[in-house]
Homo-oligomer: A and B are copies of this chain.
Amino acid sequence: MCMANAYLKRGTEKALILEDVAAIRCEGDELYLKPLFGEEKRIKGKIREIDFLDSRILFEQESTEEN
């Protein structure tokens, strides 16, 4: 059992958007991030990189829409 932190890349910046992500589901342009506790978070974007050793997920956003 091993959760990851999700970061969003915008230009040269990386912002932490969710901690302790337990699962990610990709549906079209949308990503559903499921944390261990709390509500699922939906973002528009793409997975850019996942580092399992560092428990880090990096997303990239093409549009500015975000929920």
A: which residues have CB within 8 A of B? 1-4, 21-26, 46-53, 55
In the A-B complex, the 6 residue pairs with the smallest Cβ-Cβ separation, listed nearest first, are A2-B2, A24-B50, A23-B51, A1-B53, A3-B52, A22-B53
Bound Cα distance from A48 to B27, whole angstroms: 7
- The interface residues of chain A, by DSSP majority, are classed as strand
> Which among A1, A21, A23, A50 has the highest number of chain B CB atoms within 10 Å?
A50
Beyond the given A3-B52, A52-B55, please list 19 additional residue pairs across the A-B interface where CB-CB is below 8 A.
A1-B52, A1-B53, A2-B2, A2-B52, A2-B53, A2-B55, A3-B53, A22-B51, A22-B53, A23-B49, A23-B51, A24-B47, A25-B48, A25-B49, A26-B46, A26-B47, A26-B48, A47-B47, A50-B50
